[in-house]
Amino acid sequence: MLVGSRQLLFSKRGSISDKDAITLCIHPESSLFAKKMMGYIFSTFLCENNIFRLMHNREMSAHIGRPTFLTQKPTSNTTIMKTILTTMACATVLASSSQAANIALSATADTTLIQNFANGNYGGRTEVLIGPTGSSQQRAGLVLFDTSSLAGATINSMTLRFVLFRTAATGTWEVNMLREGNAGWVEGTEVGGTVEAGTATWNHRANPGTSWLGGNSGARLGTDIYGSMGSFTLTSGTDLVDDVIDTPLTVGGTGFTDLTALVDHWNTGSNNAGFQIYGGGAGNTQWGFDSKEGTGAAQLIIDYTPVPEPSSIALLGLGGLALLLRRRK
């Protein structure tokens, strides 16, 4: 972790002329917590053992903060242990106060499934189509996001965002989570319903040999999807082209206890099959949103609390151990 260094000067107590130069190296990308803890533990270790007096270095202080340390030598092992425990307790509070963050994940795959062109692929189109154009002419959209960067994080909220591609029609649409058995679908590259081997179609997860779990259903039967995670309604006559639509998602009828458990499930093995958007009213209520091949891919907006840095936590134990071992020598 030692890349680039900042030098701190220490002088032996009572002898200014007898200087030792000690270099403390901090990785430039280390968290502020890690930098402060390294500085605090290092200075506390030296001063508590009455060996060095810290000569403040402004450049280092800008990077790790001005460390706080004792100027009196402890009189007993009990005092030392209290200092160690206090240091570790303060550090634990800092580690546990991780701030929530937001991330916008862009779709890694998306496609349209069309009932009346049941073996055709539409993965190369610049929009994903949703809703019927008439009797037995339903369209369903699939969209997938890679959540592996959130492994171990606490998920506070989740919102599906997309940009409308064409004028909306009256209807209500559901955002469903595909079951893990449907994972691995391939969006394909066709734009006009041409048959493309191994890609997702209304009839097949991988055309022509692998059907969706629920059969040739456009991934809609109960065996294909969990319960709805959210829904939204568009109103006829309102031109929403290029408008951004945000749909808050919950665990809903998925059976998961919370969003953290759901994302953990996605990140285990090959369980992430993405979302299916389906619904609409009677007659022609088709609409669409920009695909990743278009001008603005769908996004999954996630508010999360990251996992504390392992290096930061490790500093606690190492610092305390160093203090104890130094005193016992």
Give yes or no: residues 45 and 57 share one domain.
yes
Shared domain for 187 and 300, answered yes or no, is yes
Percent of the chain with pLDDT over 90: 41
pLDDT given for residue 312 in this prediction? 52
Of 235 and 27, more confident? 235
DSSP letters of 287-329? EEEE-TTTTS--EEEEEEEPPPPHHHHHHHHHHHHHHHHHHH-
* Residues 14, 155 share a domain: no
Q: Which of 225-229, 237-241, 254-258 has the highest mean pLDDT?
A: 254-258
pLDDT at 321 over 60: no
The confidence score (pLDDT) of residue 313 equals 52
Q: Which of 5-19, 43-57, 87-101 reaches the highest mean pLDDT? A: 87-101
Shared domain check, 195 and 174: yes
Residue 251's pLDDT is 96
Note whether 300 and 319 are same-domain residues: no
Residues 281 and 147 in one domain: yes
Domains: count for the chain:
2
Same domain, 209 and 259: yes
Q: Are residues 132 and 252 in the same domain?
A: yes
77 and 214 assigned to the same domain: no
pLDDT at 123 over 80: yes
Same domain, residue pair 184 and 61: no
Residue 30 domain boundaries = 5-98+309-328
End-to-end CA distance of the chain: 28
What is the Cα–Cα distance from 242 to 173, expressed in whole angstroms?
18
Q: Are both 139 and 38 inside the same structural domain?
A: no
> Do you find a cis peptide bond into 306, omega within 30 degrees of 0?
no
For residue 7, CA distances in Å to 21, 22, 305 come to: 7, 7, 34
The residue-averaged pLDDT of 202-218 equals: 84
Verify that 174 and 82 share a domain, yes or no.
Answer: no
- Can you tell me the mean pLDDT for 211-221? 70
CATH of the domain at 251: 2.60.120
Window from 48-52, 81-85, 301-305 with minimum mean pLDDT: 48-52
What's the pLDDT score for residue 307?
85
